[in-house]
Structure 1
Amino acid sequence: MDDLLGKVLDLQGVWTASNTDEMRRRGVHIRQDLPALLKERSAGLADALGVSVDELGVEGRDGTGLKTEIPWVRVFGRERSPSATTGWYVVYLFSAGGERVYLSLNQGTTVWTGGEFKARKVADLQARVGWARPHFAEQTVGRTDLRREIRLDARTSLGRGYEPGNVIAIEYSRTALPSQDVLIADLLYMLGLLRTVYEAERLAPHIPGDPTPEVLEAERSAAVVAGRRNRREARPAPSGQGFRLTAAERRAIERRSVAAATAFFEAQGWSVKDVGNRESYDLQLQRGDERLHAEVKGTTSTGHDVILTRAEVEKQRQYYPDNALVVVHSIVLDRTSKEPVASGGVLVCTSPWSIADEDLTVISYAYRTALGGDAARRDLNAALNVATRG
């Protein structure tokens, strides 16, 4: 294995986007030789990652057509990271000039919204890195060879894009590549860290840097209703991504947010009535001659975006200034028990609440076709169709 890594590093020094003889040899090493060598150890790799052999993925890429500056070979869980653009994985990344290769716990740089892949911002990648590292902190005690930053010396934006996604890495110098036994031991160790991240992701209702769960669910629902297809997404989004909420989890979050809002208003002397089952708002408040109509939104995210229906927007505009928006964000969701339990959260109340058009983002449209007698377009601004930024 050390021999193959060395051969790839030597060919990095003559990289070109054209498919030269050198780049063809590099492609064979990346796409065939290295993956084949690793697959011979599938049982041990799968055991370290905590998945079945069938669930273990090993692949290498060096560019289709034009040759990429930074080739890679990754090891991953197929369900958690169905493509290199999504999820977490362990990957060999070769520096542009061939001076070094990294064994990096890294991540995909896009997120699937149900209609398209959206690129993650560098700040979001770094937020996810900050979330992941504490989960395996105990496993890294005593390892002085781990790097928090990697340097690929890439000239292309694609090549540079791997650097902010790095969670932790081991660096190997071309002039001091360790033996195959050491390389395999390091790979098993890194897969153990990845296993910890996978487990933490499975239990996390929201990961910093990820889009707001409710907005993603709305976008996906809108895409499904519209019959949107995307050939790049051959199967549903990976179940390991923490932003996916079940119906029971959504109910738990809703109950927690309404309870927090009720306690908040009662502490201020308001008489509170929960009318969410029959009105287009959640709480009806009275304090002497004062009246207030409150919309309550709960989320496990930081609450930058919440979903409003068309009816909610219209009602709150009608009730202004006797209205309020209560966002209970950063709710803690315990998924370990049979029934999810929501607790905690930070309450932010806006009252009076004026809804400006520029704070509304249309997620989908209803279009009246000629079959309906009118081909005019109309904006629904309805359930799962409008997001407002808090």
Structure 2
Amino acid sequence: MDDLLSKVLELQPSWTATNTDEMQERGVIIRQQLPELLRADGARLSVALGVSLDDLGVEGRDGTGLKSEIPWVRVFGREQSPSSTTGWYVVYLFSASGRRVYLSLNQGTTIWTGGVFKARRVEDLRARVDWAQPLLAEATAARSDLHGTIELDARTPLGRGYGPGNVLAIAYERDQLPAQETLLEDLRFMTGLLGTLYESERLAPYIPGDPTPEVVEAEQSAAKTAGRRTPGDARPRREGQGFLLTSSERRAIERHSVRMATEHFEAQGWRVKDVGDKESFDLLLTSGERKLHVEVKGTTSAGLEVILTRAEVEKQRKYYPDNALVVVHSIELDRTGEEPATSEGVLHCTSPWVVDDEDLTVISYAYRTQVGVQHPGDQTLFPPGVPQQRQVQGELQVTDGGRSPL
């Protein structure tokens, strides 16, 4: 294994985007020889990762068409990281200069919203790293060879993009590559850390740096309703994993946020009535002759975005200035029991609440089509060779592709 890593590093200074003899040789090692060698240790790697052998993925890439500056070989869970652009994985990254190769616990740089892949911002990648590192602190306490940053000497934006996603990495200098057994032991160790992240991700209702859960769910629902097809590698994540919530979890968060809002307003002397089951707002507050119409939103995220229905927007604009928006954010959600449990949360109240158009983002549209409405000069187009039906003087005729009567 060390000889294969060394050979790739030897070829790195000869990198070019075209498929030269050197790049062909590099490609064989990256796409075939290294993955095959790692798959031979698949049984132990799958145990370290906590998945079945069938769910263990190993693959290498050096560029499709044009050759990439930084080739890589990664180990991953097929469900948790179906694509190299999504999820967490362990990956060998070869520096452009050929000086070193990193074994990096890293992450994809895009996220599937239900309609499109969106690039994660650098600050979001770093927020996810900050979430992940403390989870691994105990397991990594005895390792002094782990790096929080990597330097790939990359000249291309794609090559430089791996840096912000790095959680922890082991650096192997080209002239100090350890023997194969040490390399495999390090890989099993890093794969075990990856398994810890997978389990933590499964239990986490929200990971800093991820989109707001409610917004992602709304985008996915809108895309599904509109009949959008998803890429083959964009499998929907299990309910209860990452940013998707189950219906019981959503109800628990909603009840928790309404309860906190109720206590907040009662402490201010308001009489509070929960009207969420019959009105397009949640709480009706009264104090003497004054009324306040309150919309309550709860989230496990930082609360930077919430979902509003059309009815909620229209009603709150009607009620202004006797209205309020309460966002209870950073709610803690415990998924370990039979039923989800909520606690904590930070309450933020805006009153009066002005719903400005510039603060609203359109997720989907209801489009009024012209189906069934015939306008003068309208024509129906048919593919060539497909028979059409035409009404002529009260008789139904069939023409072949609109060219000549049969």
Superposition TM-score tier, normalisation by shorter sequence: over 0.9
User: Which position in structure 1 is the counterpart of 2:65?
Assistant: 65
Matches within 5 A, 1:203-352: 203-233=203-233, 235-237=235-237, 241-352=241-352
User: Which position in structure 1 is the counterpart of 2:111?
Assistant: 111
Matches within 5 A, 1:57-96: 57-96=57-96
**Deviation string, structure 1 residues 268-318 (Cα, Å, up to 9, x no partner):** 000000000000000000112211000000000000000000100011011
Do the aligned partners of residues 234 and 261 (structure 1) sit closer, same or farther apart at CA in structure 2, a change above 3 Å counting?
A: closer
CA shift at 1:13, angstroms?
1.1
Q: Distance in 2 between matches of 1:185 and 1:232?
A: 33
User: Which position in structure 2 is the counterpart of 1:166?
Assistant: 166
SS at match of 1:231: coil
User: Which position in structure 1 is the counterpart of 2:37?
Assistant: 37
Q: Distance in 2 between matches of 1:245 and 1:360?
A: 23
Do the aligned partners of residues 239 and 74 (structure 1) sit closer, same or farther apart at CA in structure 2, a change above 3 Å counting?
A: farther
User: Which position in structure 1 is the counterpart of 2:362?
Assistant: 362
Identify unmatched segments of 5+ residues in structure 1. 376-390
Q: Normalization by structure 2: what TM-score? A: 0.91
User: Which position in structure 2 is the counterpart of 1:6?
Assistant: 6
Do the aligned partners of residues 363 and 153 (structure 1) sit closer, same or farther apart at CA in structure 2, a change above 3 Å counting?
A: same
Do the aligned partners of residues 293 and 348 (structure 1) sit closer, same or farther apart at CA in structure 2, a change above 3 Å counting?
A: same
**Deviation string, structure 1 residues 214-260 (Cα, Å, up to 9, x no partner):** 00000000000000113344532466851010101100000000000
1:141 counterpart letter in structure 2: A
The alignment-based identity, stated in percent, is 71
**Deviation string, structure 1 residues 44-98 (Cα, Å, up to 9, x no partner):** 0001111110010000000011000000000011110001000000000000010
User: Which position in structure 1 is the counterpart of 2:399?
Assistant: none
Q: Is the 8 A contact 1:82 1:238 kept in 2?
A: no
Q: Distance in 1 between matches of 2:251 and 2:259?
A: 12
Matches within 5 A, 1:121-140: 121-140=121-140
Q: Distance in 2 between matches of 1:107 and 1:7?
A: 26
SS at match of 1:316: helix
Q: Distance in 2 between matches of 1:324 and 1:252?
A: 22
Do the aligned partners of residues 258 and 351 (structure 1) sit closer, same or farther apart at CA in structure 2, a change above 3 Å counting?
A: same
Q: Distance in 2 between matches of 1:373 and 1:278?
A: 37
1:256 counterpart letter in structure 2: H
Q: Is the 8 A contact 1:206 1:243 kept in 2?
A: yes
Q: Distance in 2 between matches of 1:245 and 1:236?
A: 12
CA shift at 1:154, angstroms?
0.5
Q: Is the 8 A contact 1:91 1:106 kept in 2?
A: yes
Q: Is the 8 A contact 1:81 1:238 kept in 2?
A: no
Q: Is the 8 A contact 1:110 1:119 kept in 2?
A: yes
Q: Distance in 2 between matches of 1:223 and 1:133?
A: 34
SS at match of 2:172: strand
Q: Distance in 2 between matches of 1:239 and 1:136?
A: 25
Greater CA radius of gyration, 1 or 2?
A: 2
Q: Distance in 1 between matches of 2:45 and 2:3?
A: 20
Q: Distance in 2 between matches of 1:2 and 1:233?
A: 32
SS at match of 1:308: coil
SS at match of 2:80: coil
Do the aligned partners of residues 269 and 16 (structure 1) sit closer, same or farther apart at CA in structure 2, a change above 3 Å counting?
A: same
SS at match of 2:105: strand
User: Which position in structure 1 is the counterpart of 2:394?
Assistant: none
Q: Distance in 2 between matches of 1:268 and 1:15?
A: 68
CA shift at 1:192, angstroms?
1.1
Do the aligned partners of residues 98 and 203 (structure 1) sit closer, same or farther apart at CA in structure 2, a change above 3 Å counting?
A: same
2:303 counterpart letter in structure 1: G
Q: Distance in 1 between matches of 2:58 and 2:233?
A: 19
2:277 counterpart letter in structure 1: N
Q: Is the 8 A contact 2:82 2:234 kept in 1?
A: no
Structure with higher RCO (Cα < 8 A, 6+ apart): 1
**Residues matched between the structures, number:** 375
User: Which position in structure 1 is the counterpart of 2:56?
Assistant: 56
CA shift at 1:175, angstroms?
0.7
Q: Is the 8 A contact 2:132 2:197 kept in 1?
A: yes
Q: Is the 8 A contact 1:198 1:240 kept in 2?
A: no
Q: Is the 8 A contact 1:201 1:242 kept in 2?
A: yes
Larger displacement relative to structure 2 (276-285 or 230-239): 230-239
Q: Normalization by structure 1: what TM-score? A: 0.94
